[in-house]
Every structure is written in structure tokens, then in C-alpha cells.
Structure 1
Amino acid sequence: MGQVVFVMWRESVEALLVIGILHAWLSNNAEAKGGKRYLWGGVLAGLGIAGLLAVGFFEASEFLGNAQDYFQTGMVLIAAALIVQMVFWMRKHGRTLKKELESGLTANAKQQNWWGVFVLAALAVAREGSEAVVFLYGLIAGADSSTLLTMGGGAVLGLVLAIGTYWLLQVAGSAMGWRLFFKVSEVLLLLLASAMLVNGVDRLISMDVLPALVDPVWDSSALLDDSTQLGGLVAALTGYRAHPALMTLLVWLGFWGGVTVMLKRATPAPQKKAAQA
């Protein structure tokens, strides 16, 4: 349930961030008041697109029959890849997102063309909603009805927490709040991606697609057993295994090694101070 809460929290906050910037700009410009109905229309359209995608995933799962295990494993791995992609996208665009959105809105206001607002809102909600669908499908794949009910409650809780987080950040009124939020959630998202990758590798090993090599490499259940409530939560959020197979361990190490290298390359070099006259 913890993963579901976190996914819904993060995805909802990102969508709320875009919608909040759009709404604030429209509210502070008298000539842009007419754009609000396009904004909310775009939000509804984005929710509809995300909902259709969710139905499509579950229908495809039922249609696949015996191949369902492969489909579910593929969705888990795709979800992990999307999380990593999202982290790097936010690192690249997070600092200039507000400026880019407001620049586009100014151009729309001059032309009194608010379909751009509609499309932007729809894409923002559909993008975050569709990613949430993919992530959540990877998390709930194979879950029974009672687990699905619990995770449904977790999704609602994540949405409520997102609204509360956004409200607190708006009240704080400081750009530092958003920067801190994205730094912390970047680390949490990468931990979640590694956990989903490990889950996918474990599935592939159980289906004899990948060899275990050595199983297990060690037994750390005396320190933290991943079958307990606390250990299960740590495992779900980080990919920890008390009895890891060598293949799983190698993939996990490769993931963090690759992510570390890519993050260093993606981080802009600090600007040199101008020489004093």
C-alpha cells in the first residue's frame, strides 16, 4: 500500500503543479478570465484519457490469458523505466517549468486563443494520470480482491496527501519549497524504480527466463526479514531482499551504477564566478 500512496501522491502533485501555475496566471490577468473554462475542460479531458488507458490495460490483461504473467512483468519493468525517465525529465525542466508555461500563456492571451490552455491542461493531467496507471498496474498486478480494495484506499490517500502537500507549498510561498520537494521525491522515486526493477527480475527468474546464478547470495533475515510488515515495506520501497539471488543483486547494482553516472552527466556544471575588476 505504501508504494500506491507514494505513486499517487507524486503524480498528483506534479499535475497540480501545472494546473496551479495555469490557474494562477489566468486569475491574475483580467483579459485571461475566459481561459478558465478551457483549463477545467482540459483537466476533465485529461482524466478521461487516463481512465480509458486504465480500462485498456485491464482489458488487455484479461485477453492475454496464459501470457498474462509476461504482460504483467513487462508492465512492471516499463513502469520502472518510466519512473527513471520522469526523474531525468524533471531534473531538466523543473527549474524552467513555470517560466515556460507562463511564456506560452502570454502568447495565447494576445491572440485570445485558449485552446492551447485546454491542450496543455489535458496533456499534463493525461501524462501524469497515464503514468500513474502504468505504475499502479505494475504494483497491483496479480493482487487479490482484498488487496485491491486496500490499494484503492491507498490511491485515495495519496491523492488527499498530494492536495495537502500542494496547499502547504503554496502557503509557504517560496521557490525553495518546490526545489526541496523535487530533490527528496527524486531520491524516493529512484528507490521505487529500483524496487520495481527487482520485482520484475524476480518474476523473470521464477518464470525461468533469467537464471538465478546463485540463490541465495546471503541471508539477512536475522537483521530484517522482508516477509514481516516492516521488512515488506522496506522491500516494496527500496528493492531490499533478505535472500537475494545473484542475478537480482547484479541487476540492482547495475541500476544504481547506471543511474549515478547519468545523474552526474545530467547535472549542469556550476557557473564560474565572474572575475572581479
Structure 2
Amino acid sequence: MGNAFFVVWRESLEAFLVVGILYAWLQANDDSGYGRGRRALFAGVAAGVALAAALGWALVGVQDELAGEALDAFQTGMLLVAAALITQMVLWMRKHGRQMRARLHAELASASERSGALGVAVVAALAVAREGAETVIFLYGLAQEGSLQPLFAGAAAGFVAAALTAWLAARGLKLLNLGLFLRISSLLLLVLASALLVAAADRMIGAGWLPALVDPLWDSSALLDDAAGAGKLVADFSGYRARPALSVVIAYAAYWAGVALVWRRAARG
């Protein structure tokens, strides 16, 4: 539940902020008739949500058609895709986040000039669909590791929390340091992505697609057991394993080494 809450909170917050930026631009620049541009914006938002929902329906439909090893391969692949998307999104925001407002304003101005209200709707739909599609894939990946009821509860709570956070940001409350929130959440998302990578590696070892090399490399279950209690919570969020295989440790270390390298380059760029 906690992972679903966090993922939906962060992705929904980004979607709310994007819509807010587009809405503010339209308030200042919409001369196509009273409310026409804003109606197009909300129509685009609805279309983006529908596209994300269609992706979720397609994923469930594909899963229902698969069985055995093909289903295992599909679910493992989605774990890897979710981990890659989370990582890509965080690193992209690290490099381009400061210019996001200007980019969105430029795209909206260009689309509005070329296609009027339809262009506004398309920009909004694509922006919301991107965030929504990422959320759907993340939740699908998380669903492979637990029951659905806590997942849905966490997702709903995360959406409400995102709406509240966006409202507080819009109100300009000095106590809400949105930039700090986003930086901390970016690091936590990377931790979650590494946990999805570990889960995928475990599945590949279990299926015989990835050699374990040494299994286990160590046993720390006496200190923190990953099968129950606090240890399981840590394992679900961070990818901690009390008895990891060497190949899992290598994958985990390689992931963080790559992230650290790109993170530093993004900071310099």
C-alpha cells in the first residue's frame, strides 16, 4: 500500500502541476473566446486519463491471454519496464525540471497558434497521458508483488494527497517547500525502482533465465528478516534481501552506479 501511495502521489502531483501550468498560461493568453481554451484544456485532460485507462485495460487483457512461462516473462518484463520508466522520469526531471514551465508554455503557444483549441487539447492530453501511463505501468509492476486491495487503497490515498499537495502549492503556503518535496521524492522513487529491479532479478533466477552465481551470498536474516514484519516492509520498498544471490547484488550495484553517474552529469548540465 505504501509503495502505491507514494508512486501515485508523485505521478499525480506532476500531472496536477502540468495542468496548473497550462491553465495559468491560458488565463494570460487565451484570446480565442471566453473559456474556449480552458474547455479544450479540460477536454484534453479527460482524453489523457482515458488513454491511460486504456493502457491499463490492455495490460490486463494481455495478461489474461497468457499462461505459464509466457505469463512469467510478461510480468517480469513489466517489472523491468516500470523500473526503467521510474529511473528515466527521475533523471529527466533532474536535468530538465527547471525548464519544464518554459517548455510547456512554448509547446502550448505553438499548438494554439497552429490548431487553436484542438492544439491545446492535444498538448494537455499528451502531458496527462504520459503521467497516467507511467502510473499504470508502475502499479502493474507493484501488483506482481502483493494483493490488489491494499494497492488500490494506496493508489486512491496517493491521488487525494497529490490533489491536496497541489492545492497547497497553488495557495503559495510558505510552509510547503515543493522543491524539497520533489527532490526527496525523486530519491525515494529511485529506491523503489531498484526494488522493482531486484524483484525482476529474483523472478529471472527462479525461472532459470539468470544464473544466481552464488546463492546466498550472505545471510542477514538474524538481523533483519525480509519475510515478515519490519524487514518485509523494508524489502518491499528498497529491494533488501536477507539472503541475496550474487547476481542480484551485482544488478543492484550496477543500477546505483549508473544512476549516480547520470545524476552527476545531469547536475553539471
Same fold (TM over 0.5): yes
Following superposition, the deviation at residue 215 of structure 1 comes to 1.4
> Are the aligned partners of 2:9 and 2:162 in contact in 1 as well (CA < 8 Å)?
yes
Distance in 1 (CA, whole Å) between partners of 2:112 and 2:85 is 34
1:212 to 1:64, Cα distance in 2 relative to 1, 3 A: same
1:142 to 1:250, Cα distance in 2 relative to 1, 3 A: closer
Give 3-state SS (helix, strand or coil) of 1:224's partner. coil
Distance in 2 (CA, whole Å) between partners of 1:206 and 1:75 is 17
Equivalent residues in 2 for 1:122-141, closer than 5 Å: 122-141=125-144
Task: After superposing the two structures, state which structure 1 stretch, 215-224 or 60-69, moved more.
Answer: 215-224
Q: Which runs of 5+ in 1 are unaligned?
A: 270-277
Partner of 1:117 in structure 2? 120
1:16 to 1:208, Cα distance in 2 relative to 1, 3 A: same
Partner of 2:88 in structure 1? 85
> Are the aligned partners of 2:30 and 2:37 in contact in 1 as well (CA < 8 Å)?
no
Equivalent residues in 2 for 1:176-191, closer than 5 Å: 177-191=177-191
1:108 to 1:128, Cα distance in 2 relative to 1, 3 A: closer
Give 3-state SS (helix, strand or coil) of 2:225's partner. coil
> Are the aligned partners of 1:26 and 1:36 in contact in 2 as well (CA < 8 Å)?
yes
Amino acid at match of 2:21: I
Distance in 1 (CA, whole Å) between partners of 2:36 and 2:110 is 15
> Are the aligned partners of 2:63 and 2:71 in contact in 1 as well (CA < 8 Å)?
yes
Partner of 2:160 in structure 1? 160
Following superposition, the deviation at residue 241 of structure 1 comes to 0.9
Distance in 1 (CA, whole Å) between partners of 2:145 and 2:122 is 35
Task: After superposing the two structures, state which structure 1 stretch, 59-68 or 99-108, moved more.
Answer: 99-108
> Are the aligned partners of 2:216 and 2:245 in contact in 1 as well (CA < 8 Å)?
yes
Deviations 1:119-141 (A, max 9, x none): 11101111111111111111102
> Are the aligned partners of 1:215 and 1:245 in contact in 2 as well (CA < 8 Å)?
yes
Following superposition, the deviation at residue 211 of structure 1 comes to 1.4
Identical aligned pairs, as a percentage?
49
Partner of 1:275 in structure 2? none
Compute the TM-score of the two structures, normalised by the length of structure 1: 0.89
Partner of 1:76 in structure 2? 79
Partner of 1:42 in structure 2? 44
Match status 1:5 vs 2:11: no
Equivalent residues in 2 for 1:121-270, closer than 5 Å: 121-141=124-144, 143=146, 147-172=147-172, 177-268=177-268
Following superposition, the deviation at residue 184 of structure 1 comes to 1.0
Aligned partner of 1:55 among 28, 40, 57: 57
Amino acid at match of 2:45: V
Amino acid at match of 1:91: R
Amino acid at match of 1:100: R
Distance in 2 (CA, whole Å) between partners of 1:25 and 1:262 is 32
> Are the aligned partners of 1:31 and 1:109 in contact in 2 as well (CA < 8 Å)?
no
Distance in 2 (CA, whole Å) between partners of 1:24 and 1:157 is 27
Following superposition, the deviation at residue 183 of structure 1 comes to 1.2
Following superposition, the deviation at residue 58 of structure 1 comes to 0.6
Give 3-state SS (helix, strand or coil) of 1:267's partner. helix
